[in-house]
Amino acid sequence: MRIEDANIVAALPDLGVELGRGASLAELTSLGIGGTTDLLRIKNHESIASLLNLLDSGGVPHRFLGGGSNLLVGDGELPWVVLQLARPNPDIVLEGNVAHVDAAADLGRTVTYCAKHDLGGMEGLIGVPGTVGGALRMNAGAYGMQIGSYVREVKLYRAATRKIEILRGEQISFEYRHTSFAPDDMMLAVKLELPSKPYKEILQGIRICNEKRRSSQPLGQKSAGCIFKNPPGASAGRMIDELGLKGLSVGDARVSDRHANFFVNAKKASAKDMLALVAGVRERVHWAFHVELEHEVVIWNA
Ligand code: EPU
């Protein structure tokens, strides 16, 4: 979608919003799939309410994009514009055991930055791509830990109240790959309270997690991480593997040979191909195990 209304376009610079015409979501997502639309990069949290009022008054629908690492976007010209926070500098400020982190900060860099200052706990998240905001929204986790455990406070834009609000950690529920945030809440910043640990010890944990990840996941390939959530007490990857579906393809969309819950874009897969592969695998798992797998990846298809 292109913003045609000249009044909207003219108002953007004063709001600290940068307009990228016809951005390719394939270039903004780790899966490398997705059509084109206008991209609005927000440099100032305080202008979000005015920006959304402006878009609403012009009838321009929007979606919030984080780091694009857990996202499958539809093909062609997309029927909404995309909003993304610009990363401030600095994006992490430490105060004792509390890290004040902007939602646009890179998750991996946040883990290593805190580690270098003897703050641990998040070792398992090393190698999880994306932003801190995206990790918060999904309650990203790996190797027995989840980011929600360290959240002291979240600053977010609440679409329901059209205001910036601060929530304390206890006001948010963090479950397996799920949080109590509303779908249209926009994460802005977080205070993480992290345990003190010597850098060397954290580094050792980071190395172990990196090694485990490298040996079991297709890291060099375009993917959105795990496609399905694990059903209670079971592993989606193991089930898909047991059905012999590694390597199954639709066009260039392919079930990874390394980890069956990773679906990779081998070259130029379309969203149509990837969605067909996801639906096909889901159906076979249902047929064989009587389990309805839930998508872990977020799907923006129209
Ligand atoms: N397995 C197979 N074949 C496969 C893949 C896995 O038999 O192709 C088996 C493994 O041998 C193991 C079991 O299934 O016995 C579980 O596999 P793994 O340890 O790789 O963990 P997972 O449950 O598949 C979860 C998360 C990952 C996270 C890892 C490490 C989900 C859906 N996946 O994977 O998160 O990195 O644990 O903690 O919760 C993601 O969120 O995108 C993601 C990749």
**Ligand 1 atom nearest 237 alpha carbon:** 5
What one-letter code names the amino acid at 225? G
Q: What is the mean pLDDT of residues 93-108?
A: 98
Please give the mean pLDDT across all residues of the chain. Answer: 97
pLDDT of 141 above 90: yes
pLDDT (tens digit per residue) in 43-87 = 999 999 999 999 999 999 999 999 999 999 999 999 999 999 999
Nearest CA to ligand 1 atom 9: 238
Q: What is the dihedral of CA 217, 219, 224, 229, to 10 degrees?
A: 20
Count of all residues that appear for the chain in the document? 302
Mutating to test ligand 1, I would choose from 143, 177, 217, 238 the residue with most ligand atoms within 8 A of its C-beta, which is: 238
φ, ψ of residue 7 in degrees (nearest 5): -65, -40
Q: Is 230 in the pocket of ligand 1 (CB under 6 A)?
A: yes
* Percent of the chain residues topping a pLDDT of 70: 100
Q: Is 259 in the pocket of ligand 1 (CB under 6 A)?
A: yes
pLDDT in the model for residue 100 = 98
Q: Is 38 in the pocket of ligand 1 (CB under 6 A)?
A: no
Reply yes or no: is the peptide bond before residue 195 cis, omega within 30 of 0.
no
pLDDT of 126 above 90: yes
Whole-angstrom Cα distance, residue 27 to residue 140? 22
- Within 8 A by CB and 6+ apart from 184, the residues are 64, 159, 160
Distances (CA, A) of 141 to 27, 69, 96: 25, 14, 24
Q: Are 72 and 297 in contact (CB under 8 A)?
A: yes
Nearest CA to ligand 1 atom 36: 142
Whole-angstrom Cα distance, residue 168 to residue 179? 14
Q: What is the mean pLDDT of residues 85-105?
A: 98
**Ligand 1 atom nearest 144 alpha carbon:** 38
**Ligand 1 atom nearest 127 alpha carbon:** 36
Q: Looking at the annotation, which residues are catalytic?
A: 177, 226
Q: Given pLDDT bands bounded at 50, 70 and 90, which one contains residue 118?
A: very high
